[in-house]
Amino acid sequence: QVHLVESGGGLVQPGGSRRLPCAASGLPFSFSNLALGWYRQAPGKERELVAIISQSGSSTNYADSVKGRFTISRDNARNTAYLQMNSLKPEDTAVYYCWYDKYWGQGTQVTVSS
């Protein structure tokens, strides 16, 4: 059974940083086979794509709202992806989800507030 587990969420002050890992387990194939994405959903809003990374990690794409502040990466040897979030703003407050193939993690809450 495939599991995606996000962690690293919490309360952070505006301008601060946070790193979210997403660990995959139970995969019936190599973690490096597929692209992976990070999404987020703020209260009362639809889930939106934040960033996506290719199988090898050589190609990435970001939502305009996070470009230059967030970095997506992956360690295929560890079956883990990361979302490094810098210069956080209150509008980044949301539940952050990892997506891989047809699977979703349970999400991790990030709250940006002073």
- For residue range 50-68, what is the model confidence (pLDDT) as tens digits? 999 999 999 999 999 999 9
Confidence band for 84, pLDDT divided at 50, 70 and 90: very high
Q: Is the dihedral of CA 111, 34, 49, 105 positive or negative?
A: negative
Residues in the chain: 114
Mean pLDDT of all residues belonging to the chain: 96
Average pLDDT, stretch 83-108?
96
Q: Taking 90 as the threshold, does the pLDDT of residue 104 lie above it?
A: yes
Cβ(7)–Cβ(20) below 8 Å:
yes
Confidence band for 22, pLDDT divided at 50, 70 and 90: very high
3-state helix, strand, coil in the chain (%, to 5): 10, 50, 45
The predicted structure's pLDDT at residue 37: 97
Cβ(99)–Cβ(113) below 8 Å:
no
Rg (the chain; Cα; Å): 13
Cβ(19)–Cβ(82) below 8 Å:
yes
Q: Taking 90 as the threshold, does the pLDDT of residue 83 lie above it?
A: yes
Beta bridge mates, 103: 100
Cβ(7)–Cβ(97) below 8 Å:
no
Q: Taking 90 as the threshold, does the pLDDT of residue 101 lie above it?
A: no
Confidence band for 11, pLDDT divided at 50, 70 and 90: very high
CA distance 51 to 77: 21
Average pLDDT, stretch 82-104?
96
